[in-house]
């Protein structure tokens, strides 16, 4: 894996930083929070490097700059980190830049701010992700409530197929809600390639799964409005419940 410094040098020599944004692109500035984190995560899908998680931030304005994470959405394509482009003029990934290289670029960023160039995929409008979800008497408008640290899970967005289905079913065991059926999804921008059977979910459509019954979890999926379903996925299995006294 190339270091962030090496990737930046090579990319800059071959591709000068863009002076103007093309249609659909935008630059977003993020500020470090009180724990010195930028509060977002990235992953790789067929379309390229994408934003997979955006955490809330308590960052204060800095020298006239404001944190602009509210302009980003999970599923946005990441086109550049600072002055280092991740795609060429045709929008194709630059050779030699992989996921670990991008994460190194972010981690090694100096100072209290980072500027990202992102692009919103047409298949995943952010308005669908921010709608409140009403299903089986449940309503939520805030971030998913979980019993674990937010850094222990990532966000994956599924898009309805041609038949209007998300191609997902869930079940419940003593550790929580998990994926027990997952259909193939050809939709561009769909993140199901990062899912697998048996993964536990921390949230469904921004509703925390802690304490949810199997029926409620399935009802939330069925009741989602729009074409996008946002899932919080644990990177590691939740711990088993404590034994009875």
Q: How far apart are CA 24 and CA 121, in angstroms?
A: 9
Give yes or no for residue 232 having a pLDDT over 50.
Answer: yes
Residue 37, phi-psi category: left (phi > 0), alpha (psi -120 to 50), beta (remainder): beta
Note if the pTM is more than 0.85.
no
Mean pLDDT of the chain: 75
Q: How many Cα atoms occupy the beta-carbon half-sphere of 180 within 13 Å?
A: 11
In a domain, 242, yes or no: no
Give the Å distances, CA to CA, from 183 to 116, 166, 220, 223, 225. 33, 8, 18, 19, 20
Pair (11, 27) in one structural domain: yes
Q: Which of 73, 101, 119 is the last residue of a domain?
A: 119
Q: How many Cα atoms occupy the beta-carbon half-sphere of 34 within 13 Å?
A: 3
Pair (34, 141) in one structural domain: no
The answer to whether residues 15 and 7 touch, using CB atoms and an 8 Å cutoff, is: no
Pair (101, 181) in one structural domain: no
Q: Quote the radius of gyration of the chain (alpha carbons, Å).
A: 19
The answer to whether residues 231 and 197 touch, using CB atoms and an 8 Å cutoff, is: no
Q: What are phi and psi of 192, to 5 degrees?
A: -65, -15
Q: Which of 119, 152, 171 is the last residue of a domain?
A: 119
Pair (12, 93) in one structural domain: yes
pLDDT value of position 245: 67
If one counts the domains in the chain, the total is 2
Pair (137, 108) in one structural domain: no
CATH number at residue 62: 2.30.42.10
Pair (130, 115) in one structural domain: no
Q: Which of 69, 102, 119 is the last residue of a domain?
A: 119
Q: What domain range includes position 228? A: 126-234
Kindly state the DSSP code that residue 241 receives in the 8-state scheme. P
Pair (9, 110) in one structural domain: yes
pLDDT band for position 152 (50/70/90)? low
pLDDT band for position 139 (50/70/90)? very low
pLDDT in tens, 72-130: 888 888 999 999 999 888 878 888 888 888 999 999 999 999 999 998 875 443 333 33
Pair (104, 141) in one structural domain: no
pLDDT in tens, 7-62: 333 333 333 343 344 557 899 999 998 889 999 998 887 778 888 888 888 888 88
């Amino acid at each position: 894996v190339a270091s962030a410094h090496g990737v930046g040098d090579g990319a800059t020599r071959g591709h000068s930083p863009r002076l103007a944004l093309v249609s659909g692109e935008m630059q977003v500035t993020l500020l470090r929070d009180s724990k010195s984190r930028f509060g977002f995560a990235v992953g790789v899908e067929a379309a390229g490097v994408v934003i997979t998680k955006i955490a809330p931030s308590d960052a204060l304005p800095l020298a006239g700059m404001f944190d602009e994470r509210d302009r980003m959405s999970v599923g946005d394509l990441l086109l550049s980190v600072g002055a280092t482009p991740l795609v060429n003029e045709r929008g194709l990934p630059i050779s030699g830049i992989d996921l670990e290289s991008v994460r190194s670029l972010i981690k090694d960023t100096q100072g209290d701010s980072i500027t990202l160039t992102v692009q919103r995929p047409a298949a995943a409008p952010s308005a669908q992700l921010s709608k409140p979800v009403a299903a089986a008497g449940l309503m939520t408008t805030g971030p998913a409530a979980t019993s674990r640290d937010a850094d222990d899970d990532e966000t994956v967005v599924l898009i309805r197929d041609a038949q209007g289905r998300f191609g997902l079913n869930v079940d419940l065991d003593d550790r929580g809600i998990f994926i027990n059926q997952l259909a193939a999804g050809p939709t561009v921008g769909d993140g199901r390639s990062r899912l697998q059977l048996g993964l536990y979910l921390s949230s469904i459509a921004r509703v925390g799964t802690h304490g949810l019954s199997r029926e409620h979890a399935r009802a939330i999926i069925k009741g989602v409005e729009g074409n996008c379903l946002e899932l919080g996925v644990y990177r590691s299995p939740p711990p088993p419940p404590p034994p009875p006294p």
